[in-house]
């Protein structure tokens, strides 16, 4: 899947990884990029190829309207997300439900809405921004997020299987921490969010269904085949 001359849509495009995806898709030769966000007025537009678009993962009407307006896309980047910081045993169940509603059901709603447009092209792609926490749980503050990302990861696999034979490359992108607003309070090592977009686009060109952006994601993925005590010592 070559993004040159493609038309793409990026959710959560007003900041962080999503904003860098818009920039890198254009640098790779995309013809147009719909920059989608809950509040599209927050999107800075300095290129006529960027089209701000309202899309809220929790609002089915906004998703349907976005799918109607952007019915010409061949690349969908599901990047939008939240983190409630909820723990599994002590936080309100509604906070845990909010993480799942956004990352699993919200991403799936968007994917379902745009699937007809994507399958109409000879070649198209869906990119889901996942996490190293799709595969491992860490101490307090990320339990709910980890569960939601694990669900989104296997949903990505399921969508890939259901679209098999329809010329849609479904890619999952895993990383530890990127230097974004969402991770501002974390003192963990962080990568440049632009590197996430570049790695994903390179993976599209190579036909990769999975992209491991950094060392933490590569380490955890490799450890999954062994004794889990390595991860939970």
Per-residue pLDDT tens digits for 141-196: 899 999 999 999 999 999 999 999 999 999 999 999 987 666 546 667 789 999 99
Neighbours of 164 (CB within 10 A): 10
The CATH number that applies at residue 88 is: 3.40.50.720
In-domain check, residue 43: yes
pLDDT for 189: 72
List the chain residues with pLDDT less than 70: 180-187
| Residue 117 belongs to domain spanning | 7-232
Measured between alpha carbons, how far is 31 from 2 in angstroms, rounded to an integer? 12
Measured between alpha carbons, how far is 213 from 66 in angstroms, rounded to an integer? 29
pLDDT for 24: 98
165: left (phi over 0), alpha (psi -120 to 50) or beta: left
pLDDT for 140: 72
pLDDT for 183: 52
Measured between alpha carbons, how far is 43 from 213 in angstroms, rounded to an integer? 26
In-domain check, residue 222: yes
In-domain check, residue 226: yes
In-domain check, residue 191: yes
In-domain check, residue 2: no
In-domain check, residue 112: yes
pLDDT for 180: 64
In-domain check, residue 178: yes
Domain count, the chain: 1
Q: Are strands 75-78 and 124-129 parallel, antiparallel or unpaired?
A: parallel
The pTM of this model reads: 0.95
In-domain check, residue 1: no
Cα 116–Cα 75–Cα 27 angle in degrees, nearest 5: 160
pLDDT for 185: 60
């Amino acid at each position: 899947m070559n993004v040159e001359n493609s038309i793409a849509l990026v959710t959560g495009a007003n900041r962080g990884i999503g904003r860098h995806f818009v920039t890198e898709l254009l640098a790779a030769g995309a013809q147009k990029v719909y920059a989608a966000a809950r509040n599209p007025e927050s999107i800075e537009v300095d290129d006529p190829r960027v089209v701000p678009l309202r899309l809220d993962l929790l609002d089915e009407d906004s998703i349907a309207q976005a799918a109607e307006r952007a019915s010409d896309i061949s690349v969908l980047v599901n990047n939008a997300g939240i983190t409630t910081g909820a723990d599994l045993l002590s936080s309100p169940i509604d906070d845990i439900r909010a993480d799942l509603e956004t990352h699993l059901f919200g991403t799936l709603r968007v994917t379902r809405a745009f699937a007809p447009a994507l399958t109409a092209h000879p070649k198209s792609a869906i990119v889901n921004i996942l996490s190293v926490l799709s595969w491992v749980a860490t101490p307090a503050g990320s339990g709910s997020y980890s569960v939601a990302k694990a669900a989104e990861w296997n949903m990505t696999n399921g969508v890939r299987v259901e679209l098999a034979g329809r010329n849609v490359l479904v890619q999952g992108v895993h990383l530890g921490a990127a230097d974004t607003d969402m991770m501002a309070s974390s003192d963990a090592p962080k990568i440049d969010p632009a590197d996430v977009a570049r790695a994903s686009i390179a993976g599209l060109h190579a036909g990769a269904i999975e992209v491991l952006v950094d060392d933490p994601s590569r380490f955890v993925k490799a450890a999954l085949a062994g004794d889990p005590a390595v991860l939970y010592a």
